[in-house]
Amino acid sequence: MPTVMVGHLNMEVSLHGPEAGRPLLLIHGWPDDASTWNQVAPALATAGFRVIVPTLRGFGATRFLNDDTPRTGNSAMLAIDMIALLDALGIDRFMVAGHDWGSNTAEALAVGWPDRVERMAMLSYVIDLYAGDLARHPDAVDLEAPLLDAKGYYALGRRGADGTLHERQLDFHGGLRWRYEELLPADRRRIDRIALFRTAPGLRVGADHRFNVEEYNTYSCPWHHNLTAVVASFRVAKALVGNPGSRDEVRDLRWRNSVRFDWSSQQLMELGLMEPGQWF
C-alpha cells in the first residue's frame, strides 16, 4: 500500500477508482485499520467514485516522521491529518464516511471545513415527552418524572405526487403525534425533521418541513447512513393540553407503553430510538 507524506506523518493510504471521479474519503474506526473498507471501496470505485482510504495515525504502517512529535489521537487532530492528506492529493471538495470512531472525525471535518465537505444535512427525530399526572402538571411538563412512549414508532416510504417512492426518504411516525394524530394537522404528524443543514443558493423549505432539494430530505447518502440527532421535547404535549381544538379531548397522556424517561442516551438506544456509532 502506498504512503503519502502528510504533516508529521508518513501515512499509508489506499486509492481506488478514477482520478476524475467525485472524491470520497473513508475513515476507519478503533481498534481497526483501512481493511474495514476492503469490501466497500472497490464497489464504490466501480460506481465511479475516487475513493481515498487512509490508515490513521497509530495504526498499520502509518508512522510519525520524528520520535519527538507529541502523540495525540483526538478527533480534531485526525481531521487535520485528513485535510493534509487531501491537500497532498490535490483534492479540494470531497465526501466523507466514517465508521465507529471515524464517524467522529467525519463530523469534525464537516464542522471545521464546511466549505470543503460536499454533503451536509442532519436528520433529527423528535421524541415526545409528557407528564404522567396532568392534575399536578396541567401544562403536561414534568421535568422530574417525564414519560415517553417505549413502542409505536415506525417509518413509511415517502411518495411523490405521482405515487412513486422517493429514493432514501422515509416518513417517521410515533409518540404523541401518532396516538393523537386526529388532533394534529397533517403536516405536523411526522417526527422527522432536518435539524442542521448547510445553506445553498435557491434552497427553500416548504410548509411540510421538506426542502426543494431532494437530497436534503434523505435519511442516508448512497454509501452510508447520515448522522442523526434525537430531540426530546414537551412541545406536542403542551400543545395537546393547551390548544382549544384538542384540550377537551385529552384527559391523560399515559398508555400501556409509557415509561419513565431518565434523560440518558443509553435508554434511547435500548429502546431502539437511537443507534451507536453513526447516530447520536
pLDDT one-digit tens code per residue, 3-53 = 788 878 888 999 999 999 999 999 888 777 888 888 889 989 998 999 999
pLDDT level of residue 278 (50, 70, 90 thresholds): very low
Question: For residues 223 and 218, what is the distance between their CA atoms, to the nearest angstrom?
Answer: 12
Average pLDDT of the segment spanning 54-64: 85
pLDDT of residue 121: 56
User: Does a structural domain hold residue 251?
Assistant: yes
User: What angle do the packed helices 75-88 and 101-112 form, to 10 degrees?
Assistant: 70
Residues 96 and 234 in one domain: no
Residues 175 and 226 in one domain: yes
| Ramachandran class of 175: left when φ > 0, alpha when ψ lies in -120 to 50, beta otherwise | left
Residues 76 and 105 in one domain: yes
| The total number of structural domains that make up the chain | 2
Residues 179 and 46 in one domain: no
Q: Are 267 and 127 in contact (CB under 8 A)?
A: no
Residues 33 and 158 in one domain: no
Question: For residues 241 and 253, what is the distance between their CA atoms, to the nearest angstrom?
Answer: 9
Grid cell listed for 126: 423528535
Residues 64 and 179 in one domain: no
For residue 151, give its domain range: 121-270
User: Does a structural domain hold residue 280?
Assistant: no
User: Does a structural domain hold residue 201?
Assistant: yes
Asked whether residue 120 carries a pLDDT value surpassing 80, the answer given is no
Q: 114: cis peptide before it, omega within 30°?
A: no
Residues written for the chain: 280
> Which letter does DSSP use for residue 207 in this model?
T
User: Does a structural domain hold residue 186?
Assistant: yes
Residues 60 and 143 in one domain: no
Residues 164 and 243 in one domain: yes
Q: Of 32-46, 62-76, 258-272, where does mean pLDDT reach its minimum?
A: 62-76
Residues 132 and 157 in one domain: yes
User: Does a structural domain hold residue 275?
Assistant: no
Residues 130 and 233 in one domain: yes
Residues 129 and 261 in one domain: yes
Residues 225 and 149 in one domain: yes
For 220, the 3-state DSSP assignment is strand
pLDDT averaged over the chain?
Answer: 85
